[in-house]
């Protein structure tokens, strides 16, 4: 990946753009592969945790082709659109939901040389752009002109904005220690000590808020199957629905990568094990985070709406505020 760093140093132009496109398209296929097998892995992991088998028919003993078959089925499924729906917004909503989920990946450095955009405001970019997909959800809920969808969309917005505040605030501690918003610099700062050890409170708040931002159990109220059918995307079918599902899992990828970068030290090896390539380290830490997300999903029940909001504002936000101040004093005294 040396050529990518060289390309980044050259004057920008059409040629560079083509090179960037040549690295973005493989990344897109890796992401799509990840999503395909993350869905399968999720079903398998949850299955085994709940003493079931999970998918085990399509594609051998482990159901390896299950999601592929699902995607093909979605691709040839009829696309119905309710007559009362707002047509332009109904068509736009899945796109608005998906685009930011993929666009934030540009700022996340995988390894030292496999860095896409080396932006000075990397973390701010990720947080700002990831907030945009909320608009996609509420657009979908509103445009469908369906009561369940509107309720799901409204709940989604209320939840996303409530947990975005602690999410952003818990990351301030990391910025404070690193002295930079550039994610590459943040990773380099963690060469010896990952920030999970210096920022344990920040990490826990960030992780909980990330779970809520991803709309995953125990915070999956916007799409609570048993009360809202599916929430904001109840009127969607076929590939338009698949775009929502896709964006959810691309977000899972992005959030897990972001947690790896911010708190687990990115591609940095554990001291003494530097002979293992840095991509492997990144993948290892990343997989652990993804697994913990699945584990939480399989274990915890869903919260009630009032518990959800009150937990966000009355517990997480004060704790995150305290953490900022605590980290500042800690840094003042010891660093």
Residues numbered 207 to 236 that lie near another protein (CB under 8 A) are 229, 234-235
Distance (Å, rounded) from C-alpha 187 to C-alpha 174? 10
180 near another protein, judged by CB under 8 A: yes
Residue 116: phi and psi, rounded to 5, are -85, -80
Q: How many Cα atoms sit within 13 Å of 174 on the Cβ side?
A: 37
Distance (Å, rounded) from C-alpha 214 to C-alpha 133? 11
Residue 45 or 245: the one with the smaller Cβ distance to another protein is: 245
Stretch that binds another protein, among 34-42, 113-121, 217-225, 291-299 (CB under 8 A): 113-121
Stretch that binds another protein, among 43-51, 164-172, 197-205, 259-267 (CB under 8 A): 164-172
53 near another protein, judged by CB under 8 A: no
Q: How many residues bind another protein (CB under 8 A)?
A: 88
10 near another protein, judged by CB under 8 A: yes
Distance between start and end Cα atoms, the chain:
35
Distance (Å, rounded) from C-alpha 261 to C-alpha 116? 14
Binding mask 59-88 for another protein (x = CB under 8 A): ----------------xxxxxxxxxxx---
328 near another protein, judged by CB under 8 A: yes
Helix (H, G, I), strand (E, B) or coil at 6: helix
Q: What is the DSSP string of 153-185?
A: HHHHHHHHHHHHHHHHHHHHHHHHHHT-S-HHH
190 near another protein, judged by CB under 8 A: no
Distance (Å, rounded) from C-alpha 288 to C-alpha 265? 13
161 near another protein, judged by CB under 8 A: yes
Residues numbered 268 to 307 that lie near another protein (CB under 8 A) are 305-306
Residue 144 or 256: the one with the smaller Cβ distance to another protein is: 144
24 near another protein, judged by CB under 8 A: yes
162 near another protein, judged by CB under 8 A: yes
Distance set, CA 268 to CA 23, 252, 281, 296 (Å)? 23, 22, 7, 26
330 near another protein, judged by CB under 8 A: no
16 near another protein, judged by CB under 8 A: yes
Residue 294 or 324: the one with the smaller Cβ distance to another protein is: 324
Min dist. Cβ of residue 323 to another protein (A)? 11
Min dist. Cβ of residue 184 to another protein (A)? 11
Contacts of 224 (CB under 8 A, 6+ apart): 152, 231, 302
Asked if 100 and 254 count as a contact pair (C-beta separation under 8 A), the reply is no
Of 105, 110, 209, 258, the residue at the interface with another protein (CB under 8 A) is 105
Handedness of CA 279, 282, 288, 289 (dihedral sign): negative
Min dist. Cβ of residue 318 to another protein (A)? 7
Nearest by Cα to 109 from 261, 284, 278? 261
Residues numbered 141 to 160 that lie near another protein (CB under 8 A) are 142, 144-150, 154, 157-158
179 near another protein, judged by CB under 8 A: yes
Distance (Å, rounded) from C-alpha 218 to C-alpha 60? 32
Exposed / middle / buried, residue 207 (Cβ in 10 Å: 0-12, 13-18, 19+): buried
Min dist. Cβ of residue 249 to another protein (A)? 13
6 near another protein, judged by CB under 8 A: no
């Amino acid at each position: 990946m040396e050529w990518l760093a060289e390309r980044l140093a050259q004057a920008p132009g059409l040629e560079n753009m083509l090179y960037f496109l040549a690295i973005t398209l493989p990344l897109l296929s890796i992401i799509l592969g990840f999503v395909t097998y993350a869905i399968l892995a999720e079903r398998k992991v949850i299955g085994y945790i709940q003493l079931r088998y999970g998918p085990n028919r399509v594609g051998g003993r482990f159901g390896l082709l299950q999601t592929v078959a699902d995607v093909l089925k979605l691709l040839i499924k009829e696309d119905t659109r309710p007559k009362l729906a707002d047509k332009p917004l109904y068509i736009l909503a899945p796109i608005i939901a998906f685009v930011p989920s993929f666009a934030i990946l540009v700022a996340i450095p995988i390894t030292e040389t496999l860095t896409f955009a080396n932006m000075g405001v990397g973390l701010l970019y990720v947080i700002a752009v990831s907030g945009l997909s909320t608009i996609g959800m509420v657009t979908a809920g509103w445009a469908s002109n369906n009561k369940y969808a509107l309720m799901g969309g409204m709940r989604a917005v209320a939840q996303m904005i409530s947990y975005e505040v602690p999410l952003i605030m818990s990351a301030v501690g990391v910025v404070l220690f690193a002295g930079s918003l550039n994610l590459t610099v943040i990773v380099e700062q963690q060469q010896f000590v990952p920030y999970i050890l210096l920022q344990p409170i920040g990490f826990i708040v960030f992780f909980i808020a990330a779970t809520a931002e991803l709309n995953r159990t125990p915070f999956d109220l916007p799409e609570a199957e048993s009360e809202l059918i599916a929430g904001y995307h109840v009127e969607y079918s076929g590939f338009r629905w698949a775009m929502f599902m896709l964006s959810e899992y691309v977000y899972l990828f992005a959030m897990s990568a972001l947690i790896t970068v911010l708190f687990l030290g990115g591609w940095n090896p554990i001291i003494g094990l530097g002979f293992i390539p840095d991509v492997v380290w990144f993948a290892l830490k990343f997989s652990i985070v993804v697994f913990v997300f699945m584990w939480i999903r399989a274990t915890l029940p869903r919260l009630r709406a009032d518990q959800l909001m009150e937990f966000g504002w009355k517990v997480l936000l004060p704790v995150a505020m305290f953490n900022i101040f605590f980290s500042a004093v800690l840094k003042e005294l010891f660093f």
